[in-house]
Structure 1
């Protein structure tokens, strides 16, 4: 309630715009939906950076902060693999497994970013097969029908 009163007073004084109050309120409410505490802390810091850049430079500052965040994410590496892979650097061979995943038995090659000498992910004939004979199942069902309980 106090935040609403202060926000309304700041809008009437002309310090901030009504849109800024709405954005700050939505981001504050959305911060409660973050499941991990460590992630909430980093999201809060990023949120403050975005709010300061938007308050200083307006919509241009918001776009600039977003661009700088994307550049930073493209420069990160996790275990030697680019964080934004396969988007940056773009790798068409790995891009096919990004949105539409094949079954595990159909993915035979490792991603190009993590491959060393061994390109093959798994051996031959790894596709799951049904049981060779269903005869045993059918006889159990027939016997179950004739037995009285």
Structure 2
């Protein structure tokens, strides 16, 4: 199998670029959609304070053919709020268009993950609503991604 440039772990700084772009979006939303601006501000805070992890290309940590329930049973967040950064360079591309919309690959990806704790709540009451439905708890995951046509971030 031929090595690709993103097969080796390297400093990505995706979170820093995402924060820059999200700040611009937040400022545009302040007067038009103030509640959305508050949620974006909270996401920015969480991205800044998260512990960052860089994953290999396409998050290939375990061969999908070898994935077992035992792997999933061990999955826990090492810190209450983390951000996984991963390049996503696949040999096969998806469709160029879906309907009238041109598609571009999302080659830069972040998974912002946090435990259902009061200090990590994007919208007031969201954690308790989710915990009411799932009392055993769990982890929130917010995907942030963008393609090569964007300069920095999402």
* TM-score (ref. length: structure 1): 0.29
Greater fraction of residues in helix: 1
* TM-score (ref. length: structure 2): 0.29
Query: Greater Rg, structure 1 or structure 2?
Result: 1
Greater fraction of residues in strand: 2
User: Relative contact order: is structure 1 or structure 2 higher (C-alpha 8 Å, sep ≥ 6)?
Assistant: 2
